[in-house]
Amino acid sequence: MSMKLMKKIAPALAVLALAATFSIAHAQHSDKQTKEDVLRHRAMATAHQAAAKCLESGKKEDVCMKDLQASCKGLAVGKYCGMKHAH
């Protein structure tokens, strides 16, 4: 195989490999893991609802973000409780 052809198909092969890996990992979720995921998502949603109410009440964003971070500790990745948006 020529280098030009290899450079053209390498990204596509990488995407296919990643998709296959995701599919296999997703397919291996047990019922228990799925139930845990559901509970985690509900807890994150509750934390986000509380953050929205906090902002609606007129509190400053940094206060509401600290509350959100505390509520989400151990639930989601990152300091935005699994969700980040533009301002």
pLDDT tens column, 1-12:
566 666 667 676
Residues 6+ positions from 67 with CB-CB distance below 8 Å: 50, 51, 54
Query: Whole-prediction pTM value?
Result: 0.61
What whole-number distance in Å separates Cα of residue 67 and Cα of residue 42? 17
pLDDT tens column, 72-86:
888 887 777 877 665
